[in-house]
Amino acid sequence: MRGAFLNKPNEILIKETEIPEPKAGEVRVRLSKVGICGSDVHLFLGHRLLANPTIIGHEGLGFVDKIGEGVINRNIGERVAIEPNIPCRKCQYCMSGRGNICTNKRVIGLTEAGCFAEYVTLPTEFAWKIPDEISDEDAVVLEPSAVAIHALFMTKTKSGDAIAVIGLGAIGLLVTHLALSLGYQVFVSELNAAKVTMATDMGAIAVSPAGDLDAQTAELSKIWLENNVSAVFECAGSAFTASLATAAAPRGSEIVLVGLSGNLATFTPLKIAREGIHVVPSIIYDHPFDFARTIQLIRSKTICPSFIISSYASLENLQSALEAAATGNESKIVVNILNK
């Protein structure tokens, strides 16, 4: 099969490799479409180094191609979406219902071969059957939609509340879309004008602070306080925006850390404690609840997440697609694997 290996930072090699065989309890999926995630871009740019050349990619959509021993209630040809984070379900975190922070979890496209290939194998319960009512375009962005759903549902906010979203990459746009669909008021901040337009066209309110950290903090603090913002979602993934979120968050609000900056941010402990602000970490999603919720929300047309898809590429052009994604001008590039 063809597989796209991250050979080293900034170098993708398309190579022929053996078709994987499903183990007991697994299915093999013939992939048709795969989304490029921000984490794929970070790997490509060398922000995180892999021990060996690896097939990356994890936002996969395809069809069950082969069924491993002991698997029941699955059929060849079923259309499925990949849930790529596979907790061990044995450690103390998994046993306490926090599999999303499992230290032993398998991660497709990181710790093992990923989805920028013609086939992938995984445990059967992590290959989610997609109802006929859901389009391929919505199904291929199921995984990042689950990230957004997990983030919003981690908070105490309710429909009718006001929230703020900093950073309108794929996840920030999806949090915005989900919240607006559920009746929230959403204030967004983003440098890219095209992405701001995407959000405001959905009904979000754009706030574009300028200047240094103190100036932006003053502007956002005023607007968020006047509009009773109850949760701030940091989706940009930079130390500056994380510092901005903690500095400007209104009294009694929640700060949801969705972006994954590896750099040091700053905050004032006295403000956090005295003003009763809660810092909420949101990493991936909970199995199986968040994928099930996401499928239902898409199936009911409550959300239509395919709007984030900005362009398509072929597997052979993954190198240039990752380079384009790294510019920050694309909201979601989808790679076509299977030519129908």
* 128 plus 18 within the same structural domain: yes
Helical (H) or strand (E) element with 336: strand 333-336
Q: Give the list of residues 6+ apart from residue 227 with CB closer than 8 angstroms, or none.
A: 162, 185, 187
Q: Does a structural domain hold residue 13?
A: yes
Residues 158, 156: Cα–Cα separation, whole Å: 7
Q: Give exposure, 158-173, as e/b (b: 16+ Cβ within 10 Å).
A: eeebbbbbbbbbbbbb
* 224 plus 168 within the same structural domain: yes
Q: Does a structural domain hold residue 95?
A: yes
What's the CATH code of the domain at 171? 3.40.50.720
* 215 plus 159 within the same structural domain: yes
Q: Does a structural domain hold residue 102?
A: yes
* 18 plus 131 within the same structural domain: yes
Q: How many domains does the chain have?
A: 2
* 121 plus 98 within the same structural domain: yes
* 133 plus 251 within the same structural domain: no
- What pLDDT is recorded for position 315? 97
Q: Is the pLDDT of residue 339 over 70?
A: no
Percent of the chain with pLDDT over 70: 99
Tell which residue, 147, 155, 174, has the closest CA to residue 293. Answer: 147
Tell which residue, 118, 114, 96, 97, has the closest CA to residue 106. Answer: 114
The average pLDDT across 242-269 equals: 95
Over residues 210-236, the pLDDT tens digits come to: 999 999 999 999 999 999 999 999 999
CA angle centred on 333, ends 332 and 336, rounded to 5°:
140
Over residues 273-325, the pLDDT tens digits come to: 999 999 999 999 999 999 999 999 999 999 999 999 999 999 999 999 999 99
Tokens describing residue 219: 């502007």
* 136 plus 29 within the same structural domain: yes
Count of residues making up the chain: 340
* 321 plus 227 within the same structural domain: no
* 44 plus 103 within the same structural domain: yes
Q: If you write DSSP's letter for every residue of 236-257 in order, what string do you get?
A: S--HHHHHHHHHHPPTT-EEEE
The average pLDDT across 79-102 equals: 95
Considering the chain, what is the average pLDDT of its residues?
96
CA 160, 166, 169, 171 torsion-angle sign: negative
- What pLDDT is recorded for position 139? 98
* 51 plus 78 within the same structural domain: yes
Q: Does a structural domain hold residue 150?
A: no
pLDDT band for position 75 (cuts 50, 70, 90): very high
Given 265, 281, 297, the domain boundary residue is 281
Tell which residue, 95, 150, 87, 159, has the closest CA to residue 123. Answer: 87
* 120 plus 237 within the same structural domain: no
Three-state secondary structure call for residue 47: coil
Q: If you write DSSP's letter for every residue of 139-171 in order, what string do you get?
A: HHTHHHHHHHHHHHHTSS--TT-EEEEE--SHH
